[in-house]
Amino acid sequence: METHIPAFVLLLALLIVAAKAGAWLSLRLHQPAILGELIAGLILGPSLLNVFSWPIFHHQGFQEMVLVFGELGVILLMGMAGLEIELEEFLKARRVALLAGTAGVVMPLLLGTLVAYPFHRDLPTSIYVGLVLSATSVSISAQTLLELGRLRSPEGIALLGAAVVDDILALLALAVFTGVVNPGGGAGGGVGGLAIAIVRMTLFLILAFLLARAVLPRMATWVQNQPVSEGLMALAFVAILALAGAAEELGGLAAITGAFLAGLGLGNHPARHTVFERLRPAAYGFFVPLFLVGVGLRADLRTMSLEGAVFTLLLIAVAILSKLIGCGVGAWLGGFRPLQAWRVGLGMISRGEVGLILASLGLSAGFLQPYEFVAVVAMVVATTLITPILLRWSFGPRSLQELHAARE
């Protein structure tokens, strides 16, 4: 690898060019930038050009490295989403977030289990398929709303709130599953292990939130007055990275939850807009394009058998409908108008890194067959492709003009 750094650097340049060219073409065709970036990844991926098989890029570790850069993009994106949130508005939406998030986990869990059962021998592995479907990924919806200037609309705030609830519940469900099915592993197994996992998650969330909200702004003020170059930005990077890592390592939560908490904390400082603006170039000029192209790169559409294709199509349908119904009805029960509830449901459809992580875990533990893993990846790609289109469409034809107007 060490001697292959020039080739890797060329690969990064190629992927960013592909992403931005895709985004440009997409915007020209009045589509969301994200769509073109994902399609650029699909074209460069194993389905077509298979960039990792080209002699210059055919080195061990390249695929993994691109994945790591993409993960950093996701983490930065969620940190920036946290920075943008007005917490007062966020707390206003907590009823909707709680209802939409909860129903949006229960529905995929139930429907996913039902769809998987005919393909499986037993209940536990069927439940695992439902579990994989339960974790949403709002980073793509968040970017779409950011582009539309709607991230701070009631729907946007409910979406981000519901995603936090969703994230916690999905990982709680994983803890329950692991505790019941595999009592030897995890934090001791059984009811005791389960209780420990829940206490640990809750404790981490409360402590990390209070710490981020109270301590990060003080640190930011202190660092601003020190002579260290880019001290404030280093603090922002460190806070986002550290809370992202700690969320998984200490809290048993997803990294993006921690990144979002760090953003919320830094958002409690007067320099929040400066920090956001100075994170933008690296995020949107470097890391995020690598994430979006990376999603496409990971999907090999050629490995599909007929049975696998049937399973995949069912999985995609259930993934879309279960979130739409679960989150939509939840948001509606939470007091949203039907159109608003519909938008929240649409925004929650896309699955992402948490789904892929759960699928990887399931593959290793034997809960998922290899072809089911490919199906999950296809489901992630499909929901990721469809969500920005549906979400943008739900905001009406005016949204694109507003977008252009906002940029001028």
* Binding site residues, its own copies, CB under 8 A: 1-3, 5-10, 12-14, 16-17, 20, 23-24, 27, 33, 56, 61, 64-65, 67-68, 71-72, 75, 147, 226-234, 236-238, 241-242, 244-249, 255, 278-286, 289, 357, 360-361, 403-404, 407
Measured from the CB of residue 18, what is the shortest distance to its own copies in angstroms? 10
Q: Are 395 and 343 in contact (CB under 8 A)?
A: yes
In Å, what is the CA distance from 120 to each residue of 123, 127, 131, 316, 407? 8, 10, 15, 17, 51
Measured from the CB of residue 224, what is the shortest distance to its own copies in angstroms? 12
Helix (H/G/I), strand (E/B), else coil: 304: coil
Measured from the CB of residue 374, what is the shortest distance to its own copies in angstroms? 16
Measured from the CB of residue 139, what is the shortest distance to its own copies in angstroms? 14
Q: Are 309 and 374 in contact (CB under 8 A)?
A: no
Specify the residue, 237 or 332, whose C-beta has the smaller distance to its own copies. Answer: 237
Which residue, among 80, 79, 64, 133, has the nearest Cα to 327 in the 3D structure? 133
Alpha-carbon distance of 9 to 15, in angstroms, equals: 10
Specify the residue, 265 or 289, whose C-beta has the smaller distance to its own copies. Answer: 289
Which residue, among 353, 66, 67, 72, has the nearest Cα to 240 in the 3D structure? 72
Encoded amino acid at 53, one letter: S
Specify the residue, 98 or 357, whose C-beta has the smaller distance to its own copies. Answer: 357
Specify the residue, 90 or 291, whose C-beta has the smaller distance to its own copies. Answer: 291
Measured from the CB of residue 137, what is the shortest distance to its own copies in angstroms? 15
Helix (H/G/I), strand (E/B), else coil: 50: coil
Measured from the CB of residue 373, what is the shortest distance to its own copies in angstroms? 13
Alpha-carbon distance of 269 to 17, in angstroms, equals: 35
Specify the residue, 231 or 335, whose C-beta has the smaller distance to its own copies. Answer: 231
Specify the residue, 27 or 107, whose C-beta has the smaller distance to its own copies. Answer: 27
Q: Would you tell me how many other CB atoms lie within 10 Å of the CB of residue 396?
A: 11
Specify the residue, 62 or 371, whose C-beta has the smaller distance to its own copies. Answer: 62
Measured from the CB of residue 68, what is the shortest distance to its own copies in angstroms? 6
Which residue, among 212, 213, 77, 96, has the nearest Cα to 153 in the 3D structure? 96
User: Torsion angle, CA of 362/364/367/372, rounded to 10 degrees?
Assistant: 70
